[in-house]
């Protein structure tokens, strides 16, 4: 991998749009003008809820879905002007487990390498299968593999032509903890060897654990794109929820300086900065303001809060 030239940006996408036409003639705007740059050598996360457009984006990169408008450069190659080189630069692990039941893993890798014109002398099928713990299944029919093995085979297939960029679409959906751990450690190893990694997920935790940089995509648009620490620093607020003996009709007076809000069920919500504020002080303040505390709980920010924080920020 060290012998190949490395452009500054592994992926560069401008004005990308995709409109699907459904059976009834209804149109779905899956991507509504996406600009995105993935720096070479990074582990980049595409984070967003179901239906956000992540797979559409990935499948356009892979050449599996035809874009409606915009430009895509992969490893410096324009997808339209240089389709062969741009396709050779990327390997995609799809969201669905679509293995060919009649191929053995080794045959699947050889076929994939052949498809990309990799000469026999430069193929690394056995090495890749071994790295993914499939060496002893090299000659088994794919239909006899477990779900976890099929997932690893898809990763192996995506690597068969030695792409500069590896894309994993929801790699841990339905995957057990052990496979998840081994998958991540292998992805990190590939990245250390120079492979740029893009992964999609709808779990904030997963993106923050793995990625150097995260783009948040929602309803076909990029809501934010930042280095992970910068993104997380926006999410330092937790919420203390006070469940009173009887539901409150209004937020009590005397909580000045706190961003207290009343929930529809009569609970009192008090945001606080993780590590800086003491939630027990907030409980004391509420009690001093006359709230009879029955119970308390705390809430972590979730993806929804991230969107709100970001869109709130943008409006400001
Ligand atoms: N082949 C298709 N035909 C019509 N609509 C589609 C097709 N694929 C995806 N969509 C729609 O496009 C939107 C984005 O879907 P998708 O890219 O799969 O999002 P994600 O991967 O983030 O869950 C959704 O509204 C989805 O229903
Ligand atoms: Mg998807």
Q: Output the pLDDT for position 105.
A: 94
Residue to substitute in 16, 49, 56 for testing ligand 1 pocket (most ligand atoms within 8 angstroms of CB): 56
CA–centroid distance, 53 to ligand 2, in Å, is 7
Cα gap 44→39, rounded to integer Å:
8
CA 174 centroid distance within chain = 15
Confidence category of residue 276, pLDDT binned at 50, 70, 90: confident
Instruction: Convert the pLDDT of each residue in 196-242 to its tens digit.
Output: 999 998 888 888 889 999 999 989 999 889 998 888 777 777 899 99
Domains (ranges, CATH) in the chain?
A: 236-300 (3.30.70)
SS3 string, 76-128, reads CEECCCCHHHHHHCEEEECCCCCCCCCCCHHHHHHHHHHHCCCCHHHCCHHHH
Indicate if ligand 1 lies below 6 Å from the C-beta of 94: no
Q: What is the mean pLDDT of the chain?
A: 89
Nearest CA owner, ligand 1 atom 26: 51
210's tokens: 């793995």
113's tokens: 């390498």
169's tokens: 């679409």
> Do the beta carbons of residue 165 and residue 90 sit within 8 Å?
yes
SS3 string, 18-40, reads EEEECCCCCEEEEEEEEEEEEEC
Indicate if ligand 1 lies below 6 Å from the C-beta of 22: yes
Instruction: Convert the pLDDT of each residue in 80-97 to its tens digit.
Output: 999 999 999 999 998 888
Per DSSP, 226 falls in state E
């Amino acid at each position: 991998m060290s012998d190949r030239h490395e452009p500054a940006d592994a992926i560069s996408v401008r004005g990308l749009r995709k409109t699907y036409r459904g059976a009834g003639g209804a149109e779905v705007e899956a991507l509504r003008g996406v600009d995105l740059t993935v720096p070479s050598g990074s582990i980049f996360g595409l984070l967003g809820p179901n239906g956000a457009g992540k797979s559409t984006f990935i499948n356009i990169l892979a050449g599996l879905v035809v874009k409606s408008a915009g430009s895509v450069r992969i490893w410096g190659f324009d997808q339209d002007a240089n389709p062969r080189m741009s396709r050779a630069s990327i390997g995609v692990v799809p969201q669905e487990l679509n293995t060919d039941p009649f191929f053995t893993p080794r045959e699947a890798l050889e076929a994939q390498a052949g498809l990309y014109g990799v000469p026999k002398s430069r193929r690394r099928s056995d090495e890749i299968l071994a790295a993914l713990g499939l060496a002893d299944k090299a000659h088994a029919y794919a239909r006899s593999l477990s779900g976890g093995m099929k997932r690893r085979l898809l990763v192996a297939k995506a690597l068969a032509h030695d792409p500069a960029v590896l894309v994993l679409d929801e790699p841990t959906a339905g995957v057990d903890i052990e496979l998840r751990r081994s998958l991540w450690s292998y992805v990190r190893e590939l990245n250390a060897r120079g492979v740029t990694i893009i992964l999609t997920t709808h779990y904030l935790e997963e993106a923050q654990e793995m990625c150097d940089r995260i783009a948040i995509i929602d309803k076909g648009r990029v809501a934010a794109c930042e280095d992970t620490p910068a993104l997380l620093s926006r999410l330092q607020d937790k919420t203390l929820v006070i469940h009173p003996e009887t539901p409150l009709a209004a937020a009590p007076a005397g909580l000045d300086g706190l961003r207290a809000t009343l929930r529809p069920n009569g609970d009192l919500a008090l945001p606080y900065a993780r590590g800086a504020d003491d939630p027990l002080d907030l409980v004391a303040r509420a009690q001093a303001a006359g709230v009879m505390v029955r119970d308390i709980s705390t809430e972590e920010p979730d993806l929804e809060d991230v969107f709100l924080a970001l869109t709130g920020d943008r409006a400001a």
